[in-house]
């Protein structure tokens, strides 16, 4: 299994021939549950973004890298574009806007099984227009969508991107080769920005915390998954087992009670499932220590969101103590 590191560098000599290589940032923009994370994983060839049946599981931008002989695509998986209801949602939107502004190429991803309203379509285009990068349209989930729904999405994307539209299934891999070729063709000329064997920029701690959060999405219902955030406080290698301490933040004491469960049953089950996943990822035995802490209203407080690593919109109102 890969061990991602913070390997980004501005050394423009990572590629020996500037004119012979192409490299660029490719932002994936779409509504929640459009399948952007599954698409990123398919394009890179590794599971980087967590995927669950629930919508809006991607909360922070994830970078995946695909390198071939002469092309390096640096994919930016972003939170789904949605109408924000709190400051955390505004942070999601800010993350998508920033990725669109930085990108050399945009993939506008839609899901024909969940048609968008005119307002939702307008918001996607608005985010895409944060940058001036060329766009490629991607109609995902064509393996399970009705043909007329696929045709509707294709027609809208042809007008929205003013360029190529690809019909794909990120789940099965249908259409991915053609899409990959189109991406490489659209990349600007330039040297590679990452070593050719890197496939992610986030540190191991990030992926470990995401695995715990993924299990929470799979095992808990209602508001619990959307009110929790996981952070690795300690990661200690050496000895017989790697020690990993993960803090799970919740908004209310009642949510802590649900996560812990009667007699601690729920937190033990969560720990067992997450530990097995982390051990597969690290390829070594792990001692997983989970702690649940109440951080009242953290989704609505800029101070807490900033500390947890979320981008804060510039126009966000900051109140004393927030």
Write the CATH number for 255. 3.30.300.20
Same structural domain for residues 232 and 263?
yes
Same structural domain for residues 180 and 228?
no
Within-domain flag for 320? no
Give the domain range for residue 251.
Answer: 204-307
User: If you write DSSP's letter for every residue of 256-279 in order, what string do you get?
Assistant: HHHHH-GGGHHHHHHHHHHHHHHH
Between CA 280 and CA 282 the distance in angstroms is: 6
Q: What does DSSP say about strands 229-236 and 22-30: parallel, antiparallel, or unpaired?
A: unpaired
Whole-model pTM over 0.85 = yes
Within-domain flag for 34? yes
Q: What is the mean pLDDT of residues 87-102?
A: 94
The answer to whether residues 87 and 299 touch, using CB atoms and an 8 Å cutoff, is: yes
User: Which residue in 108, 112, 114, 107 sits closest to 143, CA to CA?
Assistant: 112
Same structural domain for residues 38 and 181?
yes
Same structural domain for residues 25 and 146?
yes
Within-domain flag for 5? no
Within-domain flag for 63? yes
Same structural domain for residues 208 and 116?
no
Same structural domain for residues 126 and 258?
no
Same structural domain for residues 242 and 151?
no
pLDDT, tens digit, 9 for 90 and up, residues 9-48: 444 444 444 458 999 999 999 999 899 999 999 999 998 9
What's the structural domain count of the chain?
2
Between CA 115 and CA 127 the distance in angstroms is: 18
pLDDT for 196 equals 92
Same structural domain for residues 41 and 182?
yes
Same structural domain for residues 106 and 213?
no
Write the CATH number for 104. 3.40.50.300
- Residue 322 pLDDT greater than 90, yes or no: no
Within-domain flag for 114? yes
Same structural domain for residues 24 and 115?
yes
pLDDT, tens digit, 9 for 90 and up, residues 247-282: 999 999 999 999 999 999 999 999 999 999 999 999
Same structural domain for residues 175 and 119?
yes
Same structural domain for residues 128 and 209?
no
Domain endpoint, select from 151, 186, 221: 186
- Residue 173 pLDDT greater than 70, yes or no: yes
Q: What does DSSP say about strands 62-67 and 71-77: parallel, antiparallel, or unpaired?
A: antiparallel
Within-domain flag for 319? no
The confidence band for 1, taking pLDDT boundaries of 50, 70 and 90, is very low
pLDDT for 69 equals 92
Q: What is the mean pLDDT of residues 212-229?
A: 94
Share of the chain above pLDDT 90, in %: 80
């Amino acid at each position: 299994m890969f061990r991602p590191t913070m390997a980004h560098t501005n050394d423009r000599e990572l590629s020996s021939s500037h004119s012979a290589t192409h490299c660029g940032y490719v932002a994936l923009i779409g509504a929640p549950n459009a399948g952007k994370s599954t698409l990123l994983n398919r394009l890179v060839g590794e599971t980087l973004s967590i995927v669950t049946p629930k919508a809006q599981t991607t909360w922070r931008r994830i970078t995946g890298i695909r390198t071939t002989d002469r092309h390096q695509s640096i994919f930016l998986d972003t939170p789904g574009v949605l109408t924000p209801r709190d400051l955390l949602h505004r942070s999601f939107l800010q993350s998508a806007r920033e990725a669109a502004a930085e990108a050399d190429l945009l993939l506008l991803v839609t899901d024909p099984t969940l048609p968008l309203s005119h307002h939702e379509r307008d918001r996607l285009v608005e985010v895409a227009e944060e940058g001036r990068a060329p766009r490629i349209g991607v109609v995902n989930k064509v393996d399970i969508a009705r043909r007329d729904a696929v045709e509707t999405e294709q027609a809208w994307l042809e007008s929205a991107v003013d360029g190529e539209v690809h019909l794909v299934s990120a789940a099965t891999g249908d259409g991915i080769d053609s899409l990959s070729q189109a991406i490489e063709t659209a990349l600007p000329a330039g040297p590679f920005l990452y070593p050719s064997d890197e496939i992610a920029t986030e540190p191991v701690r990030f992926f470990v915390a995401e695995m715990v959060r993924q299990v929470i999405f799979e095992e808990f219902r209602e508001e619990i998954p959307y009110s929790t955030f996981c952070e690795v406080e300690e990661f200690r290698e050496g000895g017989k087992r790697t020690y990993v301490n993960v803090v799970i933040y919740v908004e209310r004491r009642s949510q802590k009670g649900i996560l812990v469960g009667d007699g601690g049953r729920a937190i033990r089950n969560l720990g067992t499932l997450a530990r097995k996943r982390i051990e597969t990822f690290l390829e070594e035995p792990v001692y997983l220590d989970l702690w649940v802490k109440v951080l009242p209203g953290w989704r609505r407080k800029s101070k807490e969101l900033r500390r947890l690593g979320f981008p804060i919109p510039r126009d966000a109102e900051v109140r004393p103590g927030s």
